[in-house]
Amino acid sequence: MSNLKEIRNRIASVNSTQQITSAMKMVSASKLKKAQDAILRLRPYDEKLFEIIFAISDSLKNDKTNIYSLERPAERVLIVLLASNRGLCGAFNTNVIRKAIQLTCEKYSSQLQRNNVDFYILGKRAEDMLKRRNFNIVKTRHDVFNQLSFENVAAIAEEIMSKFANGYYDRVDIVYNQFKNAGVQVLTDEQYLPLKIVIEKEEADPDKAKYETYVDFIFEPSKNLIINEVIPKLLRVHFYKAVLDSHASEHGARMTSMHKATDNAGELLKELSLEYNKARQAAITKEILEIVGGAEALKS
C-alpha cells in the first residue's frame, strides 16, 4: 500500500489538474457561445444564396460563362483541411485528419499516385501529422483563427478560387467538422469547386426540394451578370461558413473534453481519498497495536 505522503502528493496534483480543466471548460463554454451565435447567424444567408443558385439551375445547365461551375477531369486536386491550432479537444483534430486521409486514398487514389493531390491546411495541429505521412502541403495558415473575420477568410477563398479559375486545380474539396451542438460535431467532406449548381433528380436532397419550385425568372439587368456576381459571393460566404463551423466545433469539442476530464479527476480524487483514509487507518491501527504490545511487555 502506498505511503501517506505519496497519496497526499497525488491528491494535490489531481486537485490542481481538476482546477485547470474546470477553468478551461468555462473558457471554452464562453467562446463557444460567441462562435455558435456567429455560425447560426450565417447559415440562413448561406442557404438563401444556395437557394437562389439552385432555383435558376435549369437555366444554367448549358451555361459555360461561369468558370466556377465548369466541370473538368480531376487531374489535380486540392484538399482544404480545417483543423485547430490547439489541442485538448478530444478527437476533434484526429478525426478530421483521418477523414481527409481516407478521402485522399479512396476517392483520389490515382491522383495521389501521380503526386497530384495537394493540401491547404488551416490550423497547425494537422500540419505535423500530414508531414509525417509525406503528403504535399502547399500552404498552411495558423493565424486565421486568431483574427477570425470574413475579410481574412474571404482572402483565402479568393486565393483558392483563383487557382481553380486559372486551371491549376480541377477539383477542390473541403474537409471539416460541421457544428451540430456542443457535444456533436459531424465530419464533413464536400466539393467546393467546381460548384454543383445543377442537381440531378436521383441525387436531389429532400431538404432542397423547395429549390425546384422556382421557375421562369426574369433577369435584370442580365442573367450572366447576376450569376457572375452571386456565385463568387456564394463561394466566399460558404467557405467562411465552413471555417465558422470548424471554429464552433473546436470549442464544443474542447468544452466536452474538459468536462469529462474534470469529472474523471473528481472520480480519481474520491478513489485517492478512500485509499488515503484506508492507509491512515492502517497506520493508526499499527501504532495502537505497537503501544498495546509495549504495554503488555512492561506488565510481564
Would you say residue 119 lies in a domain?
yes
Report the pLDDT value the prediction gives residue 163, as an integer from 0 to 100: 95
Would you say residue 300 lies in a domain?
no
Average pLDDT of span 274-290? 87
Would you say residue 273 lies in a domain?
no
Would you say residue 184 lies in a domain?
yes
| pTM listed for this prediction | 0.85
* Burial 135-149, CB ≥16 within 10 A → b, else e: beeeebbeebbeebe
Average pLDDT of every residue of the chain: 86
Report the pLDDT value the prediction gives residue 27, as an integer from 0 to 100: 92
Would you say residue 240 lies in a domain?
yes
pLDDT band of 202, cuts 50, 70, 90: very low
Would you say residue 178 lies in a domain?
yes
Report the pLDDT value the prediction gives residue 40, as an integer from 0 to 100: 92
Residue-wise pLDDT for 158-182, tens only, equals 999 999 999 999 999 999 999 998 8
Element at 99 (helix H, strand E): helix 92-107
Would you say residue 46 lies in a domain?
yes
Is the model more confident about 84 or about 2? 84
Which among 80, 89, 130, 231 is annotated as catalytic? 89
Average pLDDT of span 107-133? 91
Would you say residue 48 lies in a domain?
yes
pLDDT band of 153, cuts 50, 70, 90: very high
Report the pLDDT value the prediction gives residue 48, as an integer from 0 to 100: 86
Judge contact between 98 and 173, C-beta under 8 A: no
Report the pLDDT value the prediction gives residue 60, as an integer from 0 to 100: 58
Based on the residue annotation, tell me whether 89 is a catalytic residue of this protein: yes
265 CB-near residues (< 8 Å, 6+ apart): 14, 15, 17, 18, 21
Q: Which amino acid is at 255?
A: M
Report the pLDDT value the prediction gives residue 283, as an integer from 0 to 100: 84
Judge contact between 145 and 38, C-beta under 8 A: no
Residue with cell 454543383: 196
Residue 259 to residue 26: CA distance in whole angstroms? 9
CATH number at residue 153: 3.40.1380.10
Residue 262 to residue 243: CA distance in whole angstroms? 28
| Containing structural domain, residue 70 | 41-256
The packing angle between helices 150-165 and 223-299, to 10°, is 120
pLDDT band of 199, cuts 50, 70, 90: very low
Average pLDDT of span 68-86? 92
Judge contact between 186 and 253, C-beta under 8 A: no
Percentage of the chain beyond pLDDT 70 is: 89
Report the pLDDT value the prediction gives residue 71, as an integer from 0 to 100: 87
Number of domains making up the chain? 1
Residue 264, pLDDT above cutoff 70: yes
